[in-house]
Structure 1
Amino acid sequence: MGVKRRRSYRSGRAPMPSPGRPPVAGRTELHRFWSGIAQGRSCEDAALAAGMSAPVGARCFRKAGGMPPVMFKSSAKPLSGRYLSFAEREEIALLRVQGVSRQEIGRRLGRAASTISRELRRNAATRSGGLEYRATTAQWHAERSSRRPKVAKLAANPALRTYVEERLAGMVAVSYG
């Protein structure tokens, strides 16, 4: 007889521990919040316009030191349609519960069926042992995997850091060292 495995085994990931508390604001809400700040709104007004509570907006503002993160600056590229949004993930979850096929979900969302299939496989909730698709869990998985734990170049290279510091201080007269 074969070894009995959980259906979550097919996802390619081991069953995960609890993801903890979901983030208070998603990427789109933060983008709208920082756009409101750039338009001159107060923290509270920008937060309410973005769909957050006023204390959450104040916390985001404080946490960022009053400056929008690079990805939310007005000069940054707009959000691309390459990645699924939380609203699309919610729609996928609702349609999946209704028993709609992957091809039909793709048609309704204007996405390829392979994108929907990949989303259902990669970002399914595996804690219960089955492959249940939940939008909040899927969003958490997607945000977790999109992070890049990359060390800044100046932090990794001390020689370059001292050169840049000396150059900024005006101690280096010739640019080639």
Structure 2
Amino acid sequence: MARRGRKRRLELEAEYWRLLAAGVGSVEACRRLGIGRKTGYRWRAENGGLQPDYLPEASCSGRYLSLLERRRIASLRGRGLAIREIAGLLGRAPSTVSRELRRNSRPHDYGRYDADLAHHRGRERAGRPRRSKLSTDPELKAEVQSKLDMEWSPEQIAAHLRTRWPDRPERHGTSATRPSTEPSTKVPRMA
């Protein structure tokens, strides 16, 4: 049986996460987007209060080639156009098109540039190299989620984590390599 309810609106969800990252509260973000508060709470609960790893195509930076651009490259390349001509039609630098063809064409592709394969290869390379702290530490994730449910700000949560686990800096984002914000006890030298 198919899943009931509306289809997931990735663009709307991505905008919700952008608003949260900009410091807008969950209720206000839902109001601005015209969605129910329960939808916003569900999106946060599903992801432990963190923006999900998947991003819809339109929310990716314009710095990277989109699937549509890659398909245009494949089509234009199939017609025999030169790299500079393709770049001009796409509004991209010739070096971008050249690099794309070099990075994402393989010998076993029979000398053809396959846009779908190239897009998949590019997205794989762009993936996050390590998992986030909240995805690997269930206790920390539960603590952060409980504070998000109470609509605490990120600053409030960070301060709470420092007081809750003062001897576990990995749980509140401080490390030995990060400079301390405490005043220095070092006496300045007199000249």
* Length-normalised TM-score, structure 1: 0.49
Give 1 or 2 for the bigger CA radius of gyration.
2
Higher relative contact order (CA 8 A, sep 6+): 1
* Length-normalised TM-score, structure 2: 0.46
